[in-house]
Every structure is written in C-alpha cells, then in structure tokens.
Amino acid sequence: MTVTTSSGSKLVRIGTRKSNLAMVQTHWVRDELQKHFPDHQFEIQAMSTQGDKILDVALSKIGDKGLFTKELELGLLNEDVDLAVHSLKDLPTQLPENLMLGCVTSRENPADALVLNEKNQGYTIETLPEGAIVGTSSLRRLAQLRYHFPYLEFKDVRGNLNTRLKKLDAGDYDALVLAVAGLERLGMADRVSQCIPGDISLHAVGQGALGIECREGDQRILDLLKAIEDDKTRDRTLAERSFLRELEGGCQVPIGVNSWIEGDQLTLKGMVASLDGKQLLKDTVSSDRANYDNIGKELAQKVRDQGAQAILDEIFAQIDR
Ligand SMILES: NCc1[nH]cc(CCC(=O)O)c1CC(=O)O
C-alpha cells in the first residue's frame, strides 16, 4: 500500500535479509535516512533469501550469484519495497533489468580478519603452525592463503557469524577468516585477533560497504539516497565492480582488490589466483576517479595479459555451473 500526498508519498519501505548483520545494517540505513528526512516514514520488511536457507552446501558449490539478493529484488520489482539494503559484496555486478544500484554508503575497514579460538590466542596468520585448521567459505581467501601459507589446512565453514564462531570456539577450527566489517558492525570487534595485511589477503569487491538497490529511474527514492551516499566509497567500489564484471564467469572466483583515492587519483589493485594457490597474479591501475569504470576494465585487461584468463577458465571448468 502506498500512501500518496500532494508532495508524493512519504512512506518508504525498506527490504532486508533477516540475519543479524543485515538487520544491523538496515537499521543504520533507516536511522540515517530518518535523520535527513524527518517528515518521512521508513518501514522495514525482512525476508529470507536462498543463501539464508541453504546452509549445508559450500557457497562455491551452489554457484549461483544473487543467492543473498534475489528475493529482495523480486520485492523491488513487485513494488512491495522501495529500496533494498545489501552488503555490497553480496550484490551481483549485473543487476536485473529495471533495477539499479541507487547508492553506496561509507565503507568500514574492508580488510579480512583472523579470528582465533581461546587456545590459539597470540598467533597471527604468519605464525600459525603447520597443519592449523583455518575455516573459510570464500575461494578468494582460500586461494590467497594457500599461496602464502601452503602448510596450513583449510576447511569450509557455513552459517551466520554466530554459528561460525560457535564452531570455532568448539574447536572444529583453529582459526577463521571473516570480514572485519561484519564483526565490527555486530559489536564483536574484540574477536578480531588480527587485521590480515591487505597485500596478503586482497579483500572482496565491495567488502565493508553497503549497496542500496532501487527501481531504475525512481527519482523519489534516488533523491533520498543521495543524502547517505559516500562519493569516495562509491567511486572505489564502482571501479572494483567493473574489474569483477569483466573477469567473472558466473560463479564465485578467487578475485580480490585493494583501492584508494589520493586527490583525484583512484588506484585499483587487483588479484586473480588459482584455487590451489599455486598461481597468483596482481596488477594496478591509477587514473582520475571519474574514470572508475575504465579503471576496472583496464585492470582486467592487464591481468588477462598476464595470464588470468587461463586461471579463470580452469576454475570455470572445475566448478559445476
Ligand atoms: N558473504 C557473507 C558476508 N557478506 C558481507 C559480510 C561482511 C560485511 C561486509 O563485507 O560488508 C559477510 C561475512 C564475511 O565475509 O565474513
């Protein structure tokens, strides 16, 4: 139901996943919007996505992009909600027809965290001993950590953050690698044993930022979203997404990035690795930040020239698509 007044509707319906992290992020977006637009009414509608329901299969094996976003997008297209709040890294680089990325909010620390259980306190990713069991569900983390620390053991881990931490504390793993941002947002920054250096684990595209999706050309919503956009995060993450869009082939792939802005210069560093961690390529492109899209494309071409396509083709052939 949309309430329409002479100045247009003041009711805005916000779609979100139901997970703790999604709810914390969505409450933040709602509160920010409410501060900027006190005469509007913001309503939250929480939904379960495929990714929340299928918990016993490795993410890389489900192989479907949009696992955490599809139900929210249907809500947008059916006009049940007016905007959808996502962790930007879960939002596919190709959006469905008639939907768009309305804004990107300011980024938390985009790094990966090493999280240890009680008996391993004091270790870092560099000092964990041979055979230590490290839990991760991300091919990107797996490939980079195998490359740098081939003597560690890696084991898949699924479930929401609390479930994963319980498994760690029960001793199923010696350590987990998780996003710093997620732990911080959930008030669990004290569980970050180490921020893994950015040159060891290049982070996921969009990691640490929120992406808000809306219907294409919905000017009422786009005007509201402008108030909470962070333009530096937007340019950085749009460059990152352009890089990923150029290289990915329809499944989770070991691609990582770092990005930063100095003056008007945006620098994007990208990494493509093989699953076994034996091959790992990196390259960097800098240009005026307004060229974010070309920065991503140019970087994709540079890593292709280094041999990234062969690595990716092998991965696409291995993963059942
Ligand atoms: N794929 C799950 C997911 N999506 C967003 C975050 C963390 C928050 C963020 O990166 O913005 C996480 C958990 C993790 O990777 O540890």
Closest CA to 111 of 263, 260, 216, 239: 260
Query: Does ipTM come in above 0.90?
Result: yes
Task: Kindly state the helix (H) or strand (E) to which residue 265 belongs, with its residue range.
Answer: strand 265-273
In this predicted structure, the answer to whether residue 5 has a pLDDT above a threshold of 50 is no
Per residue in 267-277, pLDDT tens? 999 999 999 99
The DSSP code for 179 is E
CA-proximal residue: ligand 1, atom 15 (nearest): 179
Which pLDDT value is given to residue 29?
A: 98
User: Rounded to whole angstroms, how far apart are CA atoms 224 and 133?
Assistant: 46
- 265-303 core/surface letters (b: 16 or more CB in 10 A; e: else): ebbbbbbbbbbebebbbbbebbbebebbeebbbbbbebb
Which range among 83-92, 241-250, 277-286, 296-305 shows the weakest confidence by mean pLDDT?
241-250
Distance 117 CA to ligand 1 centre (A): 20
Closest CA to 311 of 279, 283, 285, 282: 279
User: Rounded to whole angstroms, how far apart are CA atoms 141 and 151?
Assistant: 15
264 is catalytic: no
Q: What angle do CA 173, 110, 32 make, to 5 degrees?
A: 115
User: Rounded to whole angstroms, how far apart are CA atoms 166 and 180?
Assistant: 17
**What percent of the chain is modeled with pLDDT above 90?**
83
HEC string of 182-235 equals: HHHHCCCHHHCCEECCCCCCCECCCCCCEEEEEECCCHHHHHHHHCCCCHHHHH
Q: What angle do CA 90, 16, 141 make, to 5 degrees?
A: 20
Which pLDDT value is given to residue 1?
A: 46
Ligand 1 within 6 A of CB of 206: no
Ligand 1 within 6 A of CB of 207: yes
User: Rounded to whole angstroms, how far apart are CA atoms 35 and 55?
Assistant: 37
CA-proximal residue: ligand 1, atom 9 (nearest): 208
In this predicted structure, the answer to whether residue 155 has a pLDDT above a threshold of 60 is yes
Distance 182 CA to ligand 1 centre (A): 6
**Which of 207, 210, 257 should be mutated for ligand 1, with most atoms under 8 A from CB?**
207
Token digits for 183? 């732990």
Per residue in 46-67, pLDDT tens? 998 776 666 565 555 555 567 7
Phi, psi for 202 (deg, rounded to 5): -65, 130
Ligand 1 within 6 A of CB of 208: yes
In this predicted structure, the answer to whether residue 250 has a pLDDT above a threshold of 70 is no
Number of neighbouring beta carbons within 10 Å of residue 152: 18
Query: How far out from the chain centre does Cα 78 lie?
Result: 25
Tell me the three state secondary structure of residue 25: helix
Which domains are assigned to the chain?
Answer: 1-107+209-229 (3.40.190.10), 112-195 (3.40.190.10), 231-321 (3.30.160.40)
Which range among 7-11, 13-17, 39-43, 285-289 shows the weakest confidence by mean pLDDT?
7-11
pTM of the model: 0.93
Identified catalytic residue from 82, 90, 174, 235: 90
Per residue in 110-133, pLDDT tens? 999 999 999 999 999 999 999 999
Distance 98 CA to ligand 1 centre (A): 26
Which pLDDT value is given to residue 202?
A: 98
Name the pLDDT band for 253 (thresholds 50, 70, 90).
confident
Which pLDDT value is given to residue 212?
A: 98
In this predicted structure, the answer to whether residue 146 has a pLDDT above a threshold of 70 is yes
Distance 291 CA to ligand 1 centre (A): 27
Task: Kindly state the helix (H) or strand (E) to which residue 167 belongs, with its residue range.
Answer: helix 161-169
Strand 112-116: give its sheet, edge to edge.
Answer: 153-155, 133-135, 175-179, 112-116, 194-195
Which pLDDT value is given to residue 160?
A: 84
User: Rounded to whole angstroms, how far apart are CA atoms 64 and 67?
Assistant: 6
Ligand 1 within 6 A of CB of 178: yes
Which pLDDT value is given to residue 204?
A: 96
Which pLDDT value is given to residue 158?
A: 86
In this predicted structure, the answer to whether residue 244 has a pLDDT above a threshold of 80 is yes
Distance 266 CA to ligand 1 centre (A): 24
Per residue in 277-317, pLDDT tens? 999 999 999 999 999 999 999 999 999 999 999 999 998 88
Which pLDDT value is given to residue 54?
A: 61
